[in-house]
Chains A and B, each alone.
Chain A
Amino acid sequence: MNPMVETTGIEKRYGRTVALQDVTLAMTEGVTGILGPNGAGKTTFLRILATVMAPDNGGLRLLGMDPSTPEHRVDIRRRLGYFPQEPGLYPSFTGFEFVDYVAILKEMVDRRTRHDEVRRVLGLVGLTEVAGKKIKTLSGGMKRRVVLAQALLGDPDLLVLDEPTSGLDPEQRLRFRELLSDVSGHAAVVLSTHQTEDVAAVCNRVVVIHHGAVHFDGSTQALAELARGRVWLADGRAAGAVLSWRTADQRHRNIGDAPAGAELVEPTIDDGYLLLVGETGMKEAA
């Protein structure tokens, strides 16, 4: 199967700061979760996939096309849905008007067909009832759903979502996961999130980016397996622990080289991820 996203040794710098280095990945249909601490390079990577920015070096093919070619870039954008990390909205627009505005940007010319599509995506994210309300009157979660609705316009083949679930309540997150499951049958979805439970629930694959480089690429189970035999419970912070935190039952969950006789527990994605990124990841999870 031909990859829908293919990066070969891509690099990006901001002045002297290296944001991405030698990132080589290939993705097909399904949901790929991107995990990493703040400043790891996730957003830079997603902005490159969304054709908002070009890499300084390396090869990039999206949906089988080269985005550095103007004609191909336009073709890719026609089949792309994008949820930026800091999506801006027009507060005086209604939800319908904003999604309609993006639909026009996406070259949906025929008004009636466009309006049908706008209603469809607003329905998908559960905003039909408030579509006529001004965005400035909507809650934070609703605003994020407006942004999600525009990303779903035209049933895209490549969906790039940068932290779409932050600000959503548990019920909305559940609905979001269902939505992704529906979309991911035919589309490549790249999802950056801080919610490891989102990754566990919807991602077929997880990529951990740290300091601009890929530190892990595999299944969610494989990420959890990284910590097998290295997670244990104790009454306090253990000596050999790389990371340790107090759990709800007042015991300490330790990750690292378990001492003999330690009370080992089943590792989770969180454990694997934290073990991988160390203390930076711990601060991120806190």
Chain B
Amino acid sequence: MTTTWHADHDLLQAYVGGELDDAQAYSVEAHVLACDQCRRAMAPEVARDRLEGIWQETLDVLDRPRARPLERLLVRFRVKRSTARLLSATPSLQASWLTAVVVAVGFGALASHRSDSGLAFFLVLAPLVPVIGVAAAYGPGIDPAHELTVAAPISGFRMLLLRSVAVLAASVAVTGMASLGLAVVDWTAAAWVLPALALTGATLALSLVMSPERAGTCITVAWLAVVLIGWSATGDDLGAFRAGGQVTCAVVAAATAAVLARRHELFEVRSQQ
């Protein structure tokens, strides 16, 4: 291509300095790509560190490994890339774990079609899904790289919260899908949500003084005891999920959130012992 017009020195300097508006910049860019003389004139004007930066950015894009599937999914939900990488190591967000959850709540939903107690079985089981997930999200013996996490400047409590929120979201999503398959289509299909929040909050609060693993076990046992005792005392298998139970769960969820906000420093103290 024959070019008769050339960009003058001032125009090239303005382009290099990023002072042109988009239309002018694109125009200069198109011309420079085609014009050897202007490319040569522009080269000395470009700051070396900027060129280096662009080159490194290019290298990084080419060299960077492709994000893992879970990371890509989280990024789609607008989670920061670095946070997505931290979450992708969560033991209770791995495919094998999620598969187990899908199978468990799927069977629970199917059970609601088979017997009168099937719905109660699902409702008792569903809030325990995030509890067990949180218990298996963070801690020695659970996370292979736990020791490295503890020795890093990132707050251990923040890691636990991050992973717990992700586990809770995944659990609610999976259990919510399963609840669409329940034999009932009224309020009871969602009666597990507040208990799930309350039990997860209680597990986190208890993690301030014991390992999340042990906290999850304690809360699971306590939940089963409360529900079964209530059932045998009243003869109502859905008793724990009616208005009184829901209000209690809401209060427990709020109380545990307050405890976590005020006393989270206990987590670091415990993990140092």
Contacts and interface: CB of A to CB of B under 8 A. Distances in A.
Given A53-B272, A84-B147, A101-B85, A107 B153 contact: yes
Given A80-B151, A102-B148, A132-B65, A111 B89 contact: no
A100 B147 CA distance: 16
A64 interface: no
B57 interface: yes
Interface string A77-101: 1101010101111101110111011
A52 B147 contact: yes
B91 to A, nearest CB: 9
A181 interface: no
A111 B75 CA distance: 15
A89 B152 CA distance: 15
Contact of B65 (A73, A86, A97, A102): A97
Contacts of A228: none
B89 A106 contact: no
Interface stretch (A30-38, A112-120, A218-226, A248-256): A112-120
Interface in B149-196: 149-155
Interface in A54-83: 54, 70, 73-75, 77-78, 80, 82
Contacts of B148: 82, 84, 87-88, 102, 105, 150
Contacts of A53: 272-273
Contacts of A111: 60, 81-82
B143 A88 contact: yes
A102 B147 CA distance: 11
Interface residues of A, number: 40
Contacts of B57: 112
Contacts of A80: 151
A87 B82 contact: no
B145 A104 contact: no
Chain B contact-residue range equals 20 to 34
A107 B154 contact: yes
Contact of A90 (B89, B151, B154, B265): B89
B145 A88 contact: yes
B17 interface: no
Of A52, A78, A89, chain B has the most CB atoms within 10 Å of the CB of: A52
Contacts of A28: none
B9 interface: no
A136 B85 CA distance: 18
A77 B272 contact: no
Contacts of A90: 89, 144-145
A101 B60 CA distance: 16
Contact of B150 (A52, A89, A115, A150): A52
B66 to A, nearest CB: 10
Nearest to A68: B272
A97 B65 CA distance: 8
Nearest to B86: A104
B85 A104 contact: yes
Contact of B146 (A88, A93, A102, A119): A88
A1 interface: no
A191 interface: no
A74 B272 contact: no
A70 B265 contact: yes
A84 B273 CA distance: 17
A96 B89 CA distance: 14
Interface in B71-87: 81-82, 85-86
Interface string A108-150: 0101100110010000000000001000000000000000001
Of B146, B151, B265, chain A has the most CB atoms within 10 Å of the CB of: B151
Contacts of B36: none
A204 interface: no
Contacts of A115: 60, 63-64
B153 A101 contact: no
A73 B272 CA distance: 11
A77 B152 contact: yes
A87 B147 contact: yes
Interface of B: 56-57, 60, 63-65, 68, 81-82, 85-86, 89, 143-155, 265, 268, 272-273
Given A80-B151, A88-B147, 14 more contacts: A52-B151, A54-B272, A77-B153, A82-B148, A82-B151, A87-B145, A87-B148, A88-B143, A88-B146, A89-B145, A96-B65, A106-B154, A111-B60, A115-B64
5 contacts: A73-B268, A97-B68, A97-B85, A105-B152, A112-B60
